[in-house]
Amino acid sequence: MRYFLALLTLVVSVWGQLPAVSLRALDGSIVRADTLSNNGKPIVLSFWATWCKPCLLELNTLHRLYPQWREETGVKILAISIDDARTSAKVAPLVRARGWRFEVYLDENGDLRRALNVSDIPHSFVLDGAGRIVWQHQAYAPGDEEELWQVLRRLRQEGTQPGQSP
């Protein structure tokens, strides 16, 4: 497993940026993943599904921490649902019920999931200010968000802007 994760990290870091695949926003609009940006600030992508309990726990934790993290680092959190056509109708009501204030997109065909080799969820990625993938983490247990916070703080301290390396 360790070898697989090392290989996956190598593939992602060589490839580096999000592919030009389509996602659907909760309002029905279509967005290309490669156009997602945050004005030179980091982005967290969190792959999840309505039926995944660890995913919901992670996103509830990120929701609680998001105001502070956004203020301190400018981060934008994007939740990417991998629910398929059978369960995607549950996404918007769940997001509203939980009060999540980050952007949520649907990857119903699994195009982004496949492009980033996401096999298990939750699976999170951090993109630096230039849109390069600089970190990823699979699974979630309470406390894992501390490692994510450290990555975001490091990016802030390094002042990563478009055209600079983290």
163 lies in some domain: no
72 lies in some domain: yes
Q: Pick from 54, 17, 29, 20: which is nearest to 105 by CA?
A: 29
Are the CB atoms for 102 and 62 separated by under 8 Å? yes
8 sits in which H/E element: helix 2-15
Write out the two tokens for 154.
């490091």
Please state the separation of Cα 78 from the chain's center in Å.
Answer: 5
Are the CB atoms for 106 and 91 separated by under 8 Å? yes
pTM: 0.85
Q: What is the pLDDT of residues 108-149, one digit of tens each?
A: 999 999 999 999 999 999 999 999 999 999 999 999 999 999
- Domains identified in the chain, total number: 1
Q: What is the pLDDT of residues 65-91, one digit of tens each?
A: 999 999 999 999 999 999 998 999 999
Q: Which CATH number covers residue 20? A: 3.40.30.10
Q: Pick from 51, 165, 25: which is nearest to 105 by CA?
A: 25
Structural domain boundaries, residue 97: 2-158
